[in-house]
Each structure stands twice: as structure tokens, then as C-alpha cells.
Amino acid sequence: MITFEGVTKRYPGGTVALDDVSLDCPAGRITVFVGTSGGGKTTALRTINRMVEPTSGRVLIDGQDVRERKPAELRRGIGYVIQHAGLFPHRTILDNIATVPYLLSWNKKKARARALELMERVGLDPAMGRRYPFQLSGGQQQRVGVARALAADPPIMLMDEPFSAVDPVVRAELQDEFLRLQEELHKTIVFVTHDIDEAIKLGDRIAVFQTGGKLVQIDSPENLLAHPADDFVAGFIGQNRGIRTLSFAETGGLRLSDAAVRAASTDAADAAGTDWVLVVDDDRRPLGWARPAQAGGPLGKAKLSPVGPTFRVGGDSVRTALDAAVLSPSGLAVGVDETGAVVGTASGTDLLAVPTHGRDGAAAGTAAGTAAGPEEADPEGADAGGTG
């Protein structure tokens, strides 16, 4: 557990970077700091490893004031990942990852074995271990940065906009890999980002900071979206917060229809009266959309429109499924299992009727109710969450 108790940071000249910040970062969970430029996100992060010393207040790790430990000793027990990886250009990838184990006096064989193990864990080919940072892509360098932060198995990881310098596709891959690792390792993580979508995807709790170092709200992603504490938080999240809430509606219990699914051998005449049909092969893999009225003979030989995006039933959210429905020529989302076989289809109306659940499994209404806004979804109102 990381605890901030009335932490204030005031620089000479009167600039306030943190203004009486109090919050908890639970053990084994991901707490994300977001907010405006100058809101104090990175300053708050750096008070944890004493790269910044507060003017007043305390930062505690498991009840102990961080100022009771020497900075170098403290930092060796805390993983730290920054935006551009911060790798040593003159060291190989293996030796970059083994940096902290070397500082802890591990022998070279043990440190490099740990580095190789972590390369595989973060999705890097161990053969890259002899390369140098300049020989890797930006996404690969960020994976090395994460591996280096994990090398000595620290209980705490601090991550300062670690994925912001890569393109959107690589960023999404890194986020997914990061969540996979956290499911295995259960680290206490403080993550700084300016991207609210990244915060919602990764965070168990989100702390929103306003210019001047004020903590405005700390809450679960679901509650933050449904019940922003004030106009600042609502404006920071953006007008499409209802759509973002659909990220927490699960597709596992969705009732899918097989009415529009047809085998490739089906004659078009047998599907007459149906505007669109999803043509599948013998393994129920989707081949494309057909319009029976414009086809003759077997549907598999008709001119097919692309299937478009699909969603994995029980794995993807209603937000992903709704996106698939919008992009589908038929207006129907195609649900598939882990093998890619079609389970069934769903309309937008079907998707918006799915109950939403928070990450703790508690029911939170329907996707349609949540998307409509907290007033419609919960007429009785609800607590807006903690404020700083």
C-alpha cells in the first residue's frame, strides 16, 4: 500500500505542484494518475521514490515514511519505467535488463539468466539479448524498459507515460501485454498518463489531478465515468463517457442469434426474405455477408461483402461488439469463440441491453442505461466518489 498524507510540493517562487494530496494506492492493484498539464501527476509519482521531496506531508509504503530510507536503497526496491525507456545505449539488451541485479551484487550468470527469462515474459525474442538499444524498435525498447523494471522482482512499479512515444497499434499491444503481466505478478503499480482511454483500460483506480496539483477525484473507472465529481472531471473525461462505460459491459452472457447464419452450401432461395445472411464454412468460420435477393445458387458462390470486425464472446467488451455492429454492412455484430468460429450475431439493441459490471463483479445496470448517463441509469443518484 502506498499512502499520500497531505502531500504538498511548493517550489521557490510560489509554484505549487502538489496541493495537500491525500490518497491510497492499494497493494497489488494499478492506480493511474491522469489530469491536465501542470496537474502534478509526475511530481506525485516521483515523491514515491524520493526523486522529488515534498514540502510538507508524507508518503508511506506499507506504513513506513519513505524518508526513513536512503534514496538509493529505496529505489532499488521500486521498478521505474519512463516514456522513452531510458536504456543505456552502450549496454546490450541483456545487460540493460540486468542493471538492478548487478547493483544488488548478483553474479553475472544469475543476472543474465533473469534477464533472459524476463525477455520472454515481455514478449521479446531472447536472441535480441546481444543487440543494443538502437537496433530495436520503439515498442521493443519499451518492453525492455518494463523488463528492466521487473528484474529484481520489486513489489512496486512506477510508470511515467511509458507507452506514449509509440504508435497507436504498438501502444495497444503494450497495454495488453502489461495487463497480462499484471494478472501474473500482482504488483503495486502507479501509472501516469495523459490519455483517459489508457487510464480506463489499465486502471483499477484513477486519480484525476487539476492544474495546481489538486486531486479532484479518485475512483474506480466505472464510477469515474458514471459519476464525475464535478464539471472539471466530466469535461476532462469528454462527452463520449457513456460509450467508454461500455468497456465494462461483458459479452459472456449475451444471447446471440443464429437466424442470420447460413452454411456456404445453402441455396439463396432457402434464405429468401432475409435481408443479409452471414455465410460460414464447414467449421463455422465467417466467409462474408450475402444478400440472398441478389444471389442465385449456393450462397458460398455469391458475391460476398467483407465480414468486418468480429468480437470474441466472453473476451471482448460490449464496446468492442458495438463497434463491430456499426462497421458491419448488416448492422449485426458477429460473435466468435477462441477458435474464430461463429457463435452467433447480435444487433445494437441486443448489445445495449447487456448488464454492465464493474471490475469487482458488481452489477451496475444495463449498457443502455449507463450510456444514457447517471441520471437515467440511476434515478436515486449515487455518490460521486472520493475527492481530494
- pLDDT for res 358: 52
- pLDDT for res 357: 56
CA max distance for the chain: 81
- pLDDT for res 32: 97
Interatomic CA distance for residues 77 and 231, integer angstroms: 39
Give the residue range(s) of CATH 3.10.580.10 domains in the chain.
Answer: 261-352
H helices present in 32-92, as ranges: 41-48, 71-76
Q: Which CATH class is domain 2-242?
A: alpha beta
Residue 15, helix vs strand vs coil: coil
Give the residue range(s) of CATH 3.40.50.300 domains in the chain.
Answer: 2-242
Interatomic CA distance for residues 150 and 118, integer angstroms: 8
- pLDDT for res 297: 86
- In total, the chain counts a number of residues equal to 388
The CATH number given to 261-352 is 3.10.580.10
| Partners of 289 in beta bridges | 278, 305
Name the residue among 77, 48, 64 with its Cα closest to residue 190: 48
pLDDT in tens, 298-355: 888 888 999 999 999 988 888 899 999 999 999 999 999 999 999 999 998 888 877 6
With a CB cutoff of 8 Å and minimum separation 6, the contacts of 27 are 1, 62, 155, 188
- pLDDT for res 63: 93
User: DSSP string covering 145-202, please?
Assistant: HHHHHHTT--SEEEEESTTTTS-HHHHHHHHHHHHHHHHHH--EEEEE-S-HHHHHHH
pLDDT mean for each 10 residues of the chain (388 residues): 96 91 96 92 95 95 94 90 83 90 88 89 88 89 88 90 82 87 92 91 94 93 88 84 78 88 90 88 94 85 90 90 92 94 91 66 49 39 35
